[in-house]
Chain A
Amino acid sequence: MHFHQDLLVLARQMVDRNAAQPIEAELRRAISTAYYALFHLLTHEGTARIVAAAHLRSRVARTFEHKFMNAVCKEFAAMQPNPAGQHVHPSGVLIPSGVITIASEFVTLQDSRLSADYDTAITWDHFEAEAIVASAELAFGEWQAVQADPGSDFFLVELWCRGIPKRS
């Protein structure tokens, strides 16, 4: 299995391990792991498309930035369908609705991850943590359905390119 798949399995195991008497630290780790599962899915798929030399992909994967990915995902998630029910990026590329869902889940998961990792004022319960892990699983499921779509290629490239300064 790939790293991102292992992370998703791990997130599920952590959230389910003590469902009756959950340990909050474990719930927090599950939420954080669920986010990183989606993050690594997207960087894995992005580099697989962008970098022909397989041995160089991990190096390029390190250049994906959470902050810029978040900004791109907000842009995609905010796209409203046209009268025909299609999501069309301002550049004219048709974006499958599954990508809209993935983008939305990425933003939500990142927000949850930051709260789970740093905000000790918030208390997490099993129900909430389970729903967050399930949202990462939902995103993985959506990816299965849209990964071959050209709009998905465009999305992945945007996730990466947004962090690269443009030549003036």
Chain B
Amino acid sequence: MNMSKPEFLLNMRVARSLFGNQRVRADLPTANIADFSKDFSRAAIWLTPKSVEHFNAADFPELGEKQAELQDAVLAFRTIAKEVPPDEAATNEQLGNAKVAFERVLKIIEPYLPTHEESKDVETALTGIPFPDWVVTWDYELGNDEDETPAVWLNLYADEDTAPKGTLASTAAGLTRQLRKRLTDARINRWPYVRLRSAQKHKTL
């Protein structure tokens, strides 16, 4: 297997999580469409060329006629992603078109991104956590830590402009406690680590 293929699939796995876990603020006045739009845009950190980085159509000969379809979808997505400056919000049109292209890519490569039973349980446990509004999306990784303890790393992508700098550590500590309890209640034997990351930086790296 070409070394670019696993890297591309890893990028897509992360992007799929960021896409699926996007959050909009719950306290917005429903009539204010512009605010909703802004929230969707700030959460769309999957809309970056990095999501499809290392894609090489030649890595997928087994797809047959879908190989060209995958290439088209990736190119369409990459074109839109490159049009959006990393430090600016995407337009509604860009978001809509990127979403269509991204979902086309996901549909084709879905068999390469299996979700294991334990991952589903972990996701269920994570989904119920009431994250603060400044968390725009999240992702997680399973693995073993340095002590070989099974662990889950929860990456919370924060909107730096609205995240309260003075209380970040105590918020993270509180979320870690909640996460630990949820994992325990779900009988998931994994040590929780919460990492706060900049949503803006994810798009620019």
B197 touches A78 (CB 8 A): no
A residues 123-148 in Cβ contact with B at 8 Å: 123, 125-128, 130-131, 134-135, 137-138
Kindly identify which residue among A108, A126, A134, A137 contacts B176, using a CB–CB cutoff of 8 Å: A108
Main secondary structure of the interface of B (DSSP, over half): mixed
Main secondary structure of the interface of A (DSSP, over half): helix
B residues 163-183 in Cβ contact with A at 8 Å: 163, 165, 168-170, 172-173, 176-177, 180-181
Is B193 interfacial (CB-CB < 8 Å)?
Answer: yes
Contacts of B193 in A (CB 8 A): 107-108, 111
**B20-28, B90-98, B103-111, B141-149: which one contacts chain A?**
B141-149
Kindly identify which residue among B146, B172, B205 contacts A131, using a CB–CB cutoff of 8 Å: B172
**A44-52, A69-77, A150-158: which one contacts chain B?**
A69-77
**A77-B201 contact in complex given A131-B168, A135-B173, C-beta closer than 8 Å:** no
Q: Nearest chain A CB to B6's CB is how many angstroms away?
A: 13
Number of interface residues of B (CB under 8 A): 27
Q: Nearest chain B CB to A30's CB is how many angstroms away?
A: 14
CA distance in complex: A111, B145 (Å): 7
Is B84 interfacial (CB-CB < 8 Å)?
Answer: no
**A125-B197 contact in complex given A67-B147, A131-B168, C-beta closer than 8 Å:** yes
A127 touches B147 (CB 8 A): no
**A128-B195 contact in complex given A80-B184, A104-B177, C-beta closer than 8 Å:** yes
A131 touches B176 (CB 8 A): no
Contacts of B160 in A (CB 8 A): 127
B residues 116-167 in Cβ contact with A at 8 Å: 145-147, 149, 158, 160, 163, 165
CB 8 Å contact bits of B46-90 with A (1 = contact, 0 = none): 000000000000000000000000000000000000000000000
CA distance in complex: A127, B172 (Å): 13
Is B186 interfacial (CB-CB < 8 Å)?
Answer: no
A residues 95-141 in Cβ contact with B at 8 Å: 100-101, 104-105, 107-108, 110-111, 114, 123, 125-128, 130-131, 134-135, 137-138
**A125-B170 contact in complex given A104-B177, A130-B165, C-beta closer than 8 Å:** no
Q: Nearest chain B CB to A111's CB is how many angstroms away?
A: 6
Kindly identify which residue among A74, A114, A128 contacts B196, using a CB–CB cutoff of 8 Å: A128
CA distance in complex: A111, B165 (Å): 22
Is B194 interfacial (CB-CB < 8 Å)?
Answer: yes
CA distance in complex: A100, B177 (Å): 9
B201 touches A71 (CB 8 A): no
B180 touches A70 (CB 8 A): no
CA distance in complex: A93, B196 (Å): 33
CB<8 Å pairs between A and B, sample of 15? A70-B147, A74-B191, A80-B181, A101-B173, A104-B177, A105-B173, A107-B193, A108-B193, A108-B194, A111-B193, A114-B146, A125-B205, A128-B195, A131-B169, A137-B169
List the 3 shortest-distance A-B pairs measured between CB atoms, nearest first: A134-B169, A127-B198, A138-B169
Q: A101-B173, A111-B193, A128-B195 are in contact. List 4 more A-B contacts (CB 8 A).
A: A74-B149, A104-B173, A127-B198, A128-B198
